[in-house]
Structure 1
Amino acid sequence: MLLIVVFVPSLTFTPLLASGMFQLSSQWRSEKAQMDLATKTVGGPAANLFFNLDKERRLTAEVQANPGNTARDKLAKQRAATDQAVNAFRPLAALNPANGQEGLTDAIAGTVNDLGRLGEQRRVVDAGWSSEQKAFDYYSEVLESDLSVLTALSNTDEGQVNSKAQTLVDLYWVVDTIGREDAILARGWETGRLTRDEYGLVADAIGTRKHLMQFRVVPALTGNESPYGKLTAGKAWGTMTALEGRLIASGSGSEGDQVPLRDDSAEWRSAVDTVTAQLRQLLNVRFENVRTIGYDHADMLFTVFISISTVGVLALCLVFFTSWRLTAILRRRILHLRHAAHELQKRLPNVVARLERGEDVNVDAEVRMVQPTPDELGELGQALNMASRSAVLTAVRQAQQHRGFQRMLQRIARRTQILIGLQLKKLDELERQHEDPEVLEGLFDLDHLTARLRRYEENLVILGGGQPQRRWRKPVHLLDVLRAAQGEVQDYRRITTDVEGEPWIAERAVGPLVHVLAELMENATAFSKPPTPVEVRAAPVSRGVAVEIEDRGLGMEPEQYAAANALLQSPPQLDVMTHADDVRLGLYVVARLSASLGLRIELRSSAFGGTRVIVLIPEALVVDRPRTVPEPAATPETEVPQDATDSPPRSQEGSDGPRPPHQDGQLPTRPRGHAPLPQRVRQASLAAELKVPADRDERTDQETWAVRDQPSRSSATIGAFQRQSRRLRAGDDASQPRLSGSPEPVSPTTEERR
């Protein structure tokens, strides 16, 4: 910011200085370029071309009037001189000056175009095919084009140069009017007469010349040009005007188409040549004056440009140096304040970390006061002191409030979990008391809802900084862990599980792993359209066991996958109040639990268009099969299945024990016959390490509701019981044994609901 204080005045002044310098430089370059064009590049060739064409016009008229050898020799010499002037002028057509006068390029192009017909005009004149008037009109047209070039050269960016140059152009027109008059009279000297049209052209030329000389040229003469103001009082000028007066008088006194002309050609020639020479001298003087004025003004602009540039640069350096010195003083003081703010920035996270660890913090000891000074920066230091104290005090209060809220949240969740445990215990008692299939179906649904509710309560505990309270004393088969997680999912019937090998999970990881898998399965079913399946596959890998959960939903964008994986890899410190509306609370819970267990979880795009979640269980959590686990056995009355999925597993602790490594859903049935219906035998299908001890009185309250979650019997047994009951009541033959591998209905009441 201090650099802005330094650079803003400089940067503000620099464009103004640069703009002025650019304008002066542009004007200087423009005027210099225009003067170069007017005096050297274009002006010289155009003036030379003008005088040669004017002379060739008169000699052409003399040859047409009297085609003698003397006149032709003069015309041939003049044509050679004109060709040299034309050759010097033609290259100007390719000229495209960036700072040239406006209209100059078009005027040059028009003149070059007219000169292109010069050779043809000469041939027809020599052959006698062109009339005197046509030849006169052609040369007059070319001369007018050349005069337009000279007129464009006079239009410069400097007003004084324009004024002086305009008089110069008027002098060229005076010379042109005399040349017109001379060319027309050259026709009549031999015949002694002029046609009425020729007389009119001569009269117009005389009137135009008098007007230009009297009202535009002579009044504009100054300085060394003043002596030429007496040109009209000279002998040659008087002779020329006297002869013109006779001609005008003859034309006024005669009638008809012919105007008599006296033979005054010698006197006329002498007077016109003298006047033309005097006019050319005046042109040269005026040209030099215009040239001097133009270049002097351009040099003056260059001098001003250099002066302003020098002064401006010095002023800019002075502004920059002064600003730098002032800001250097401010910078030292502000750096001191910034250093104090940085110290606060470093101390505040440490204070917050100590508060998170439960340590007490002394606000006065943590705030280092900045010594105030009696100025604006001193007031800023005082404000920084107040802000530092307020920030530390606010952090302390927020940490205390957050710890209090977490304790309250955990306390409420624990109490709710106790009630859920009592509810599960009551449901267990009701399941033992009733054998009606419809009543059992309702009880099983309530049992399932309660298990899900328990998981949601555990989410609150985890978000509050606690850990799940469910504990296992022995390792559990991974298939049972998956089924326990499946049992806590609302749409569990869509989930299929497949486990390769016989992986077992360490007892300390069973509860959190069930919770993690249940959250991921719930997410897969929630974001995929029924009745698409959710496939859960588990297999040993080189670094542990990999569990894949794949749905067929809409999936997510690559950015969303990256954000979710980043969250799972580095779970943030969750402030429950600030994330109350975040729909990813489940991901926070999974991230917390996976971090505590060392699980690696990654979300990817599925080949089916949905999402595939890969959970890598590390080798430290995978154990060998316990030797004390007995093989499951069927009841004497019937073959009780141990891996059916007709109804969801009751809970994590209530898994059916170790299963054979085949796909879920294969349920053998007993043939229709006279065997009695299956009886409810508590814990008949559970693995030994999951069975609840018989003596319930020796358990604590916590163990009672936690261990109670283990089902009193396999859900497959209940499913078999209900199916056999319906078949016996209906008296059908559908109870014949199935082929190995044929799937059973996904729920005990599937047929009734359909």
Structure 2
Amino acid sequence: MSDDSPPRQRWWNIEGWGLRWKVTAVLAIPVTVAMVLGGLRIQEELTNAVHFSQAADQVAHVPDLVDFGTALGTLAGTTAAGLSTPEEVARLDETLEQVRTVALNPELDPVVAADLTRVLASAEALRDQMKAGQVPIADLNQRTTEVRSDMSNIVSAIVDPIEDEEVLLEGTRLVDAWATQRYLFDQVMGIVSILRDPDQPGTQLVSASGAELAMLETLARSYPLADGQIEELRTAVKTRSDMVDAAGDGPLPLLNLRTSMMRSLEIYGSLIEQATEGITSTVEERAAETRSAALRDTAIVLATLLAALVLALLVSRSLVGPIRRLRYGALKVARQELPEAVDRIKLGDNIEDIEFTRVPVHTTEEIGQLARAVDDMHGQALRLAGEQAHLRLQINEMFETLARRSKSLVEQQLGLIERLEFEEKDPSRLESLFRLDHLAARMRRNGD
């Protein structure tokens, strides 16, 4: 028996593909699509995780930048008022070194690092001039404002690219608190202007105080849990204004004003610290969440793909295995068992004594039903062969019966002819009887 499949057709002819290749194609396409979509999902999660991790590394430097801007503004204000202390100078030097370290960090964004290096150079030059007492008041005001504004822009450049509502909200709080804090420096400049020219109306101080009060209204909406601190800041603005108004033409209470501003500066520092901590913790939390999500999605995708592959193998095995057994059994019946059984029936074997092997598929679905149909066709073919053999035997018996009857009649005819030959005396009739006897003998041989 040969069970070779027909020769393969061209590969692009799907109808000519083998069953295994067809099942593989049907199962491979959805699995491949799932792998691609799962890979894209994992890649997106990993990209977000890397983005938040990098953002967390950069946001970690925001407190150093804020401390530097605050230290610079504090020293500039006290220097303009002639009330600077060595501690304030040391604090500025300390924060300056911290920011220099940040600028040299290779993981910092190159654009931010370049801007930070430029601002540091300007701040160092301003610090050296303040130590030497060589900065005019107007120049000190302008340069300090520029440095602190540039530092605020750098902080915004670090926080704004982070696409998270909570981080952006904390960033807005930080920028607003920092901007409001800078009005303390403007108030110091206003007080210095009054000290230099007591006859001026104090417009700069009033403007700076009003601007701080307006910004405090914004901060009250940004910091709903800090109502007590906001109210204390409002009271401090009013207190400083009252101190200036009460002084009149007399000397200003500089120490009291300095104490009030330092207290306000401390409150702003706590608000700024709260915002920076919120930014840092939120970014770190998002980084951890995205890493966990990436790991979770990776595990889910791998588990799903593994389950899909196992299920695909089981399904393909449940399809290919029975069909291969059905094919083998059908070919064996058609090319070996049925011809051999027919030959045995022709040789006279009884059909009841002939057994055939059923197709080894025992399921009840379509393939199993097809296997039972092949078994039924095999049995029907054997029954048909048996009926044909029985018919041939009946025909043989009929011809044998006819031959026997014909032989009996011929033998009777031969006996009659022999009696006629014995009694006949005429030579010509005797010759005819001999011929008739010869023909009858030939008919008897045909009957035999």
TM-score bucket (shorter structure): 0.5 to 0.7
- The corresponding residue for 1:181 is 187
Report the alpha carbon displacement of residue 211 of structure 1 after superposing the two structures with TM: 2.1
Q: 66, 70, 77: which one pairs with 1:58?
A: 77
Aligned residues: 322
Q: 1:239 to 1:53 in 2, by over 3 A?
A: same
Residues 45, 193 of structure 1: CA spacing in aligned structure 2 closer, same or farther, 3 A cutoff?
farther
Pairwise CA distance, 1:21: 2.1
Equivalences for residues 197-236 of structure 1 within 5 A: 199=202, 201-214=204-217, 216-223=218-225, 225-232=226-233, 234=235, 236=236
Superposition map of 1:414-433 within 5 A: none
Q: Give the whole-Å Cα distance in 1 for the aligned partners of 2:250 and 2:155.
A: 35
Q: How far has the Cα of 1:27 moved from its partner?
A: 1.8
Q: 1:30 to 1:261 in 2, by over 3 A?
A: farther
Query: 1:89 corresponds to which residue?
Result: 99
Assess if the C-alpha contact under 8 Å between 1:168 and 1:286 holds in 2: yes
Between the aligned partners of 2:283 and 2:143, the Cα distance in structure 1 is: 34
Using the TM superposition, give the Cα deviation of residue 338 of structure 1 relative to its aligned residue in structure 2, in angstroms. Answer: 8.6
1:695-714 equivalence runs, <5 A: none
CA distance in 1 between partners of 2:245 and 2:29 (Å):
77
Percentage of matched positions with identical amino acids:
11
Question: Which residue among 140, 144, 153 is the counterpart of 1:139?
Answer: 144
Q: CA deviation at 1:278?
A: 1.9
**Structure 1 position 113, deviation (Å):** 0.8
The alpha-carbon distance between structure 1 residues 119 and 307, as it changes in their structure 2 partners (threshold 3 A), is: closer
Residue in structure 2 matching 1:23, options 25, 44, 64: 44
Q: CA deviation at 1:166?
A: 0.8
Give a deviation string over 1:124-151, Cα, whole Å, max 9, x none.
5566654221122112211111111222
Matched, 1:168 2:158: no
Question: Is 2:150 the counterpart of 1:148?
Answer: no
Asked whether the equivalents of residues 193 and 261 of structure 1 are also in contact (C-alpha less than 8 Å), the reply is no
Higher relative contact order (CA 8 A, sep 6+): 2
Contact kept? 2:187, 2:208, Cα under 8 Å: yes
Return the match for 1:285 from 250, 266, 274: 274
CA distance 1:226–1:136, shift in 2 (3 Å): closer
For 1:176 and 1:160, the matched residues in 2 are separated by 24
User: Which residue pairs with 1:488 in the alignment?
Assistant: none
C-alpha deviation, 1:222, in angstroms: 3.5
8 Å contact 1:62–1:187 — kept in the other structure?
A: no
Partner of 1:8: 29
Structure 1 residues 118, 230: CA separation in 2 closer, same or farther (over 3 Å shift)? closer
Cα distance change of structure 1 residues 81 and 94 upon mapping to structure 2, 3 Å threshold = same
1:57/1:111 CA distance change after superposition, 3 Å: farther
Whole-Å Cα distance in 2 between the matches of residues 271 and 308 of structure 1?
A: 55
CA contact (8 A) 2:52 2:283 kept: yes
Match of 1:328 in 2: 317
Task: Within 5 Å, give how 1:603-642 maps onto structure 2.
Answer: none
CA contact (8 A) 2:240 2:260 kept: yes
Superposed CA offset, 1:503-557 (max 9, x none): xxxxxxxxxxxxxxxxxxxxxxxxxxxxxxxxxxxxxxxxxxxxxxxxxxxxxxx
Gaps of 5+ in 2: 1-20, 333-358, 374-448
Which residue number corresponds to residue 258 of structure 2?
269
Distance 1:261 1:314 in 2: 82
Cα distance change on mapping 1:132 and 1:227 into 2, 3 Å: closer
1:90-118 alpha-carbon deviations (Å, 9 max, x no partner): 23334454xx7xxx653442232132134
Give the structure with the higher percent strand.
1
Equivalence for 1:316: 305
Tell me which of 47, 57, 62 is aligned to 1:36. Answer: 57
Q: Is the 8 A contact 1:154 1:166 kept in 2?
A: no
Q: Give 1:305's aligned residue.
A: 294
Q: Summarize deviations over 1:199-238 as a string: whole Å, max 9, x none.
A: 5544443333222211x21012234x3443432454x343
Distance in 1, Cα, partners of 2:233 & 2:131: 38
Q: 1:87 and 1:240, CA in 2 relative to 1: closer, same or farther beyond 3 A?
A: same
Which structure shows the higher helix fraction? 2
| Preserved CA contact (<8 Å) 1:57 1:183 | no
Shift of 1:336: 6.0
Match of 1:239 in 2: 239
User: Are the counterparts in 2 of residues 189 and 265 from structure 1 also a CA contact under 8 Å?
Assistant: no
Calculate the TM-score normalised by the size of structure 1.
0.38
Q: TM-score, normalised by structure 2?
A: 0.61
Q: Which amino acid aligns with 2:79?
A: T
User: How far apart are the structure 1 equivalents of 2:159 and 2:141?
Assistant: 27
2:410 maps to none
Instruction: Tell me the distance in 2 between the aligned counterparts of 1:36 and 1:246.
Output: 50
Q: Which structure 1 segments of 5+ residues have no match?
A: 64-70, 251-259, 344-370, 383-754
CA shift for structure 1 position 191:
5.1
Q: What is the letter of the counterpart of residue 4 of structure 1?
A: A
Q: Secondary structure at the match of 2:252?
A: coil
Label 1:309 to 1:121 Cα distance change in 2 as closer, same or farther (>3 A): closer
3-state SS of the aligned residue for 1:116?
Answer: helix
| 1:245 Cα offset (Å) | 6.9
1:107–1:148 Cα contact (<8 Å) kept: no
What is the alpha-carbon distance in structure 1 between the residues aligned to residue 65 and residue 182 of structure 2? 14
RMSD: 3.9
- Counterparts in 2 of 1:382-397, with a 5 A limit? none
**2:323/2:367 contact within 8 Å kept:** no
Q: Distance in 2 between matches of 1:244 and 1:149?
A: 35
Q: Deviations over 1:704-737 (max 9, x none)?
A: xxxxxxxxxxxxxxxxxxxxxxxxxxxxxxxxxx
Partner SS, residue 182 of structure 1: helix
- What SS class does the counterpart of residue 44 from structure 2 fall into? helix
Q: Distance in 2 between matches of 1:129 and 1:272?
A: 25
Contact 2:176 2:219 in 1 (8 A): yes
**Partners of 1:108 and 1:149 within 8 A in 2:** no
Residue 76 of structure 2 contacts residue 144 of structure 2 at CA under 8 Å; is this kept in 1? yes
Task: Tell me how far apart the structure 2 counterparts of residues 164 and 123 of structure 1 sit (CA, whole Å).
Answer: 34
Alpha-carbon deviations, 1:475-504, whole Å to 9, x = none? Answer: xxxxxxxxxxxxxxxxxxxxxxxxxxxxxx
Q: Which among 155, 159, 166 is matched to residue 165 of structure 2?
A: 159
- In structure 1, how many angstroms separate the alpha carbons of the residues matched to 2:24 and 2:307? 16
